[in-house]
Structure 1
Amino acid sequence: MDLFSSPDETTNLLPHDGIVNYYGVVFQKALADFFLEHLLNNIEWKNDEAIIFGKRIVTKRKVAWYGDKPFEYTYSNSTKQALPWTKELLELKTVIEVQTGETFNSCLLNLYHDGNEGMAWHSDAELDLKKNGAIGSVSFGSERKFAFKHKRSSETVSILLEHGSLLVMKGETQTHWLHRMPPTRLSKKPRVNLTFRTIVE
């Protein structure tokens, strides 16, 4: 099922076993353009790494990890230590917390240089994260399709994430659903995604 109609953040995009709300554009174009430019040039980006079947893989996609404390976050058998918040990231966090009524203590950022870079099916269910906690996903830059697939039934839901938009995943979403960002030849420009999370100490 594709969901490209007008957003209503009270609508659950998933048919069952989780909650996903799409708030649509929460940062108007001028402000979204400012944050995109700032994030591209001022975040401490590094190529992502993963250990798969004992082999170290380095992606073209870049990542950065920020938080309240130097939290450690482990995924794909690779551990990162959080950098201190920048002023702009704290501003974004405050807006997202007000919009969603949730609180977050960390943020994983992803930089996709163009549509050739994507993300394979996965769920954010690492032990470091608050179980069934909310994840606030903010998108700046090129519009990209974002898809969900149920782990048992394989039914799918997809949505187009707009420049300056907010999507929230919570409840049992990570337990029952996978998500991905498929590559596309249609996108020639960069995209920055921020996923605000809660690390459990």
Structure 2
Amino acid sequence: MNLLFPQEKIVFDLPDAEIEYHPSLFDSEKSNELFQLLKNEIPWQHDEITVYGRKHFQPRLTSLYGNDGKPYGYSNIIMRPNRWNSLLMFIKNNVESICNENFTTVLLNYYRDGKDSNGWHADNEKELGRNPIIASVSFGVERVFQLKHNVTNQRQSINLENGSLLVMKGATQHFWKHQIPKSSKEIGARINLTFRIIK
């Protein structure tokens, strides 16, 4: 067990969802260290997406790592994974010890400031399977994570703290969308790692 901090778990009582939040997967000192290593060592890329027929650069930087060279696609972007390195394996092992899963892939997002964001979406790509488990680790500046039910429009906001882990599983991706909205505040950078299993 590689966990560096006693684990507190918050389970959200939401319809059609299984969501739990661990505020301190890593302590503050280790989280700050991991943030700097990820910022400096990951080969970040800036991809274009097409929205309503117009091309735009994504409002964040991304990178993909995974097993067996399996690609991952979303928003008409096909990403080819880099091979796991020791830094990501360290984080992955800690996440897996909480989730009791063997993740094959991690998508990394680098939000450089409050202007970077990720719009409403569900992690429901077919290669993730019917009821995917998504384990999301955050480093850096705290950002608001918003959820919205597809039918009832019920909403839930979670402040994702430095070193935290958010886990979504079960039918969550069928019934809920989520986003990281832009912030008008002058804030620093955040790096997020979303571990998943590609079938």
**TM-score (normalizing by structure 1):** 0.91
Report what 2:141 is aligned to.
142
CA distance in 2: counterparts of 1:100 and 1:196, whole angstroms: 11
- Other-structure match for 2:4: none
Q: What displacement does 1:56 show?
A: 2.7
Amino acid paired to 1:188: I
Partner of 2:120: 121
1:139 & 1:187 partners in 2: Cα distance?
19
Is 2:59–2:117's contact at 8 Å kept on the other side of the alignment? no
Q: Give, in whole Å, the separation in 1 of the partners of 2:13 and 2:129.
A: 21
Partner in structure 1 of residue 21 of structure 2 = 22
Matches of 1:10 and 1:181 in 2, distance apart?
20
1:29-87 deviations in whole A, cap 9, x for unaligned?
11101100000000010013322344332124100000012111110011111110111
Given that 2:8 and 2:24 are in contact with CA atoms closer than 8 Å, whether structure 1 keeps it comes out as no
- Could you tell me which residue of structure 1 aligns to residue 192 of structure 2? 193
Q: Separation in 2 of the partners of 1:187 and 1:99? A: 33
> What corresponds to 1:176 in structure 2?
175
Matched-pair contact (CA < 8 Å) for 1:51–1:78: no
Gaps of at least 5 residues in structure 1 are 1-6
Show the 5 A alignment for 1:147-158: 147-158=146-157
Unaligned runs of 5+ in 2: 1-6
Stretches of 4+ aligned residues off by more than 3 angstroms: none
Identity %: 36
Q: In 2, distance between residues paired with 1:14 and 1:73?
A: 31
> Superposition RMSD on alpha carbons, in Å?
1.4
Deviation, 1:14, is: 4.5
Q: Relative to structure 1, is the Cα distance of residues 187 and 9 closer, same or farther in structure 2, using a 3 angstrom cutoff?
A: farther
Q: Could you tell me how far 1:129 is from its partner in structure 2?
A: 1.0
Q: 1:83-120 CA distances to partner (integer Å, 9 max, x unpaired)?
A: 10111001100000001212200000000001111111
Report the structure, 1 or 2, having the larger strand content: 1
Structure-2 change in CA distance of 1:46 and 1:22 (3 Å): same
